[in-house]
Structure 1
């Protein structure tokens, strides 16, 4: 039987005091979540079993966004553990997108000819319950890449002039200190053929105070294009503090793009997804990818079908300008790369508009009078 991680309740004085005490630190266990009023005490045993397998972390900023009275709260669904995570389907994989098959040296994933992933850290400020690297990240993982391993990874990049772009990921690479982020940026900037440095992160949304003006400046590199891909899945994630952090990055000259995951019960309706994309654009973040949820263990309750995602994208086409349209993509299991799986608007001799109307193309010739 599925046990919901949340329940409707009234806060008494003791629970309110416990929530206040937990407000200034990250929540990392079922006990912490109970003390903060985000989980019913009756569910502790079930969630302790989840915690034995998968990391838990909810920052104070995220905890403040959760409505504990809503059993379907979209923020809680992303970060509060659920007993369904222990239900593994046969199609699910520990390494669903095949990182390990394309890792020539520790810390590097070289799947595409002109770009590599550099997995610099294996910890995050929060742990998404649908994470495709959930078997590899967390306090029990590898921590930060050692100095020796980083040297080998940088040497690998430097020895391959075809590498145009380095994508910093993990874990969450913005968990580095400003000093270490600056040092890494300078090391990559010293490699002449690397022209683009891209950081993938949830930090601006879930721990925005980390993104100080000094931190934003630490990511800059003279003569290089620097991007930050910001991960958010629901418009409520755009708190005033998160919007301010995005502003500090944009004001520092960092180009911002978005990443989101299509999640059942979180953002799988046109109204929510449209609001999310508008929130990105309003904060100078260009919508980039909308990911089909990967086949990570224990995540079936989050996954929609591709057909459902395509129907959603058709609805967005009529609601949003092109500036706010993400590309709907699937990471092919096993490591064969991303492919767009958005709806097809053209067929033999015709095109389909966003309302579903079909039109001949090229149109029939018009006879002049």
Structure 2
């Protein structure tokens, strides 16, 4: 796997603004002029946003650049396969009040807005997120927070969206204070792309807001390639660590981005170097127009099997598939043990030999 710094030497200089349309992508040299009309049509369905931080990471000399693949739109997104679903994780049927998704007995999602700093081309909520924002009104937010307070089986509140770190520090503080005041909640978790895609938003003020809660608070950082941990991202994560914020990492297994043992090794090591514990590796959710990113499950299992024994256990995430109809996240393995009569047969990850151990 090439060292990230080598790529950055050939990357374009970042722009000063987020690119939000095909014309901006063409002007920045990120797509050819002949692609503009098709991408203009695409933008009517799916939002576009490429921040200056992300622009700085894209290697224009590499036509298969893994950073560009994640963020630069492609006309292929307008092709929907029969296996793809507009709501692949079944948010809608499990929404008791606006902005809340309750699929698991002990935890629920709070979606205070549907804006993101960037719009990933594989996003499972790609049909609802965008610059329109989907910001909950004061009354809607109060109703959502009241629902958390009135649901005593909940132990964890998960802020997602959209990206909760796109909220102002004042509004985020209000939400975290309300959640922190609920006695039956033990954990608050936030999922965000901001530390790697818009690291300038991780201000000392924002870090202090996240550090304020007396609940167990975790920030889960979404990154899919080692190069996303550039200098500004590392500085943002350091600011969060110094504020005492516990950091987790989540990634999606993506064709052309991280679909090799070498790429995942580099990604997970880059996370750990910033004290970001790899938490989830997601199998792609089959949202409309995302087929070009899918890695078959059996291939994903083989990639992870190749890592076992070669990568510290600290770097090992749960490889999961989010099932439809609210059935939950199913672990996908890989497996190293199987029952055989009165024994377990276990494969050694280092020597690939099999060992038997009695069940009792």
Shorter chain as denominator, the TM-score bin is over 0.9
Counterpart-to-counterpart distance in 2, 1:275 and 1:205: 16
Aligned to 1:353: 348
Aligned to 1:166: 157
Shift of 1:352: 1.0
For the pair 1:155 / 2:146, whether they are aligned, the reply is yes
Q: 2:289 aligns with which of 298, 303, 311?
A: 298
Give a deviation string over 1:215-265, Cα, whole Å, max 9, x none.
Answer: 111112443111100000000101100001011111111110001000001
For the pair 1:109 / 2:101, whether they are aligned, the reply is yes
Counterpart-to-counterpart distance in 1, 2:117 and 2:230: 16
Counterpart-to-counterpart distance in 1, 2:129 and 2:165: 15
Shift of 1:356: 6.9
Q: 1:75 aligns with which of 50, 67, 81?
A: 67
Counterpart-to-counterpart distance in 2, 1:214 and 1:276: 29
Structure 2 stretches of 5 or more lacking a match? Answer: 1-11
SS in structure 2 of the partner of residue 312 of structure 1: helix
Aligned to 1:14: none
Q: 1:138 aligns with which of 130, 133, 143?
A: 130
Indicate conservation of the 8 Å contact 2:53/2:198, yes or no: yes
SS in structure 2 of the partner of residue 227 of structure 1: strand
Task: Give the structure-2-normalised TM-score.
Answer: 0.93
Shift of 1:363: 6.8
Alignment of 1:1-369 (within 5 A): 23-140=15-132, 143-348=134-339, 349-355=344-350, 357-362=352-357
SS in structure 1 of the partner of residue 322 of structure 2: strand
Indicate conservation of the 8 Å contact 2:94/2:102, yes or no: yes
SS in structure 2 of the partner of residue 111 of structure 1: strand
Indicate conservation of the 8 Å contact 2:200/2:232, yes or no: yes
Indicate conservation of the 8 Å contact 1:350/1:358, yes or no: no
SS in structure 1 of the partner of residue 309 of structure 2: helix
Query: Which region of structure 1 is more displaced relative to structure 2, 349-358 or 211-220?
Result: 349-358
Indicate conservation of the 8 Å contact 2:348/2:355, yes or no: no
Indicate conservation of the 8 Å contact 2:220/2:249, yes or no: yes
Counterpart-to-counterpart distance in 2, 1:132 and 1:320: 29
Indicate conservation of the 8 Å contact 2:158/2:188, yes or no: yes
Shift of 1:41: 0.5
Larger Rg computed on CA atoms: 1
Indicate conservation of the 8 Å contact 2:176/2:213, yes or no: no
Indicate conservation of the 8 Å contact 1:189/1:221, yes or no: no
Structure 1 stretches of 5 or more lacking a match? Answer: 1-18, 365-369
Aligned length in residues: 346
Shift of 1:182: 1.1
Indicate conservation of the 8 Å contact 1:295/1:333, yes or no: no
Counterpart-to-counterpart distance in 2, 1:311 and 1:356: 16
Counterpart-to-counterpart distance in 2, 1:221 and 1:161: 23
Indicate conservation of the 8 Å contact 1:185/1:220, yes or no: no
Indicate conservation of the 8 Å contact 2:226/2:267, yes or no: yes
Q: CA RMSD in A?
A: 1.7
Give a deviation string over 1:294-335, Cα, whole Å, max 9, x none.
Answer: 010000000011001000110111321100111100000222
